[in-house]
A = this chain, B = another copy of it.
Amino acid sequence: MSVFAVKGDICYSTSPAKIEALNDGYVIVEAGRISGVTRNPPNISVHDYTGHIVIPGMTDLHTHAPQYPFRGLGMGMELLEWLDTLIFPEEGRYSDTSYAEQVYSSFAEAMRKSPTTRAVIFGTIHAHAANILSAKMESSGLVSYVGKVSMNRNAPDYLTEANPLEAVESWLSDTASYTSTKPILTPRFTPSCTDELMRGLGELRKKYDLPVQSHLSENVSEVQWVKELCPDSRSYADTYDRYGLLEAPSIMAHCVHLTDEEAGLLKERGTFIAHCPQSNMNLSSGIAPVRRYMNMGMNIGLATDVAGGMYISMFRAVADAVGVSKLRSVLAEKEEPLTFEEAFYLATMGGGKFFGLAGSFMPGYEADILVLSATDSRHSNLRERLEREICLAGDDVELSAKYAAGRKLF
């Protein structure tokens, strides 16, 4: 891979509290990784974006590709009603590979144009459709994990698998051909998976050394239902943990209503929390106590959770994370709201950590780079320009350039 520099007004996190900001600087890329940021013109090929803001790519730690057509629909419902009424019938359609082909093409294209360079994605139970999704994501240039969903109870017949573990192993054998798109075990959530299925997935995790993604403690009714379904579990978190499914690398989306004991367990296991502020508002789930999780030093990133979240852009997730944390600080607990710095960190370094060294411009990080367009530099403070550009960007973000793992997507 080539050596080159990206020139512009550079901003990147080095910690949750700190955004480095350097006007007219150079991000140096060597063999797909950052080797440094400098003020001095380097004697290598320069991609010149003078006047543009240059930031690390963002990681969307939780999203559902098959729900992409349903953004903005059914937002008057809460989680369980929304799943039954809208989402399950929609997901049923992915047995039709031509439908999967059509939706996953537009999803991957939207992801390609978005600020997301890395993503962790739910498919449906359909292995063939999951493979189509993986192929589309591979072509998009993003780095991603794609999961064929596992579920064998509390769903319509057409989404209930008779042999879910065999289905996973068969699907896994088809995923080897991709380089930037890896498989991830994906039990939908405890209400959809019997203990036997969870146990089997725990075994597959060890056998194939795979990461895991699922949902945890999103909505009060869901938490109550899990209590009824699993009377012998210590907690909702325990329904995963007793089969090893919280062990890093794993991602649990939402975590709005965790008990202290559950939060401690996730911390101990190194589980990543995918914070989904938009979705948790839209489905009346609540506001996750992100300040508490950050104070505990937990692994945490941001996510769009399409279609619980309406917006595919991680810029919107950053703005929403800050916004809802303010409402939480007024209405729920007297804790400090998230700063813009912290939300930016979560979207870049926080979620990026799931992929290793991603989401910063410190040396050794993978070269995920976004070049923003249309910056208004009347306000000369670069840090302020950054906040403004991120927060004011709509869903249809226009970027001037995008690189993932050192490769230029456009």
Contacts and interface: CB of A to CB of B under 8 A. Distances in A.
Nearest to A330: B286
Nearest to A390: B72
Contact of A332 (B75, B324, B331): B331
A117 interface: no
B284 A329 contact: yes
A116 B394 CA distance: 18
Contact of A395 (B326, B379, B394): B394
A8 interface: no
A364 interface: no
Interface string A376-410: 00110000100111011111100000000000000
A326 B394 contact: no
A223 to B, nearest CB: 13
A107 to B, nearest CB: 14
A339 interface: yes
A331 to B, nearest CB: 4
Taking each of A378, A393, A394, which has the highest tally of chain B beta carbons within 10 Å of its own beta carbon?
A394
A208 to B, nearest CB: 38
Interface string A61-102: 000000001011101100000000000000000000000000
A281 B326 contact: yes
Contacts of A323: 281-282
A323 B352 CA distance: 28
A327 B329 CA distance: 12
B327 A287 contact: yes
Nearest to A376: B69
Interface string A307-340: 0001100000001001110111111100001011
Contact of A391 (B72, B379, B392): B72
A323 B320 CA distance: 11
A109 to B, nearest CB: 15
Given A387-B75, A394-B394, A286 B331 contact: yes
A213 interface: no
Contacts of A282: 323, 326
Nearest to A329: B284
A388 B75 CA distance: 9
B326 A328 contact: no
A181 interface: no
A370 to B, nearest CB: 17
A186 interface: no
B392 A310 contact: yes
Contacts of A339: 76
Contacts of A378: 69
Contact of A328 (B73, B331, B384): B331
A391 to B, nearest CB: 4
A152 interface: no
A326 B285 CA distance: 8
Interface of A: 69, 71-73, 75-76, 281-282, 284-287, 310-311, 319, 322-324, 326-332, 337, 339-340, 378-379, 384, 387-389, 391-396
Sorted nearest first, the 5 A-B pairs with minimum C-beta distance are A394-B394, A72-B388, A331-B331, A284-B326, A72-B391
21 contacts: A71-B388, A71-B392, A72-B389, A73-B379, A73-B384, A73-B387, A75-B340, A281-B323, A281-B327, A282-B326, A284-B326, A284-B327, A284-B329, A284-B330, A284-B337, A286-B330, A310-B392, A327-B327, A327-B331, A328-B331, A394-B395
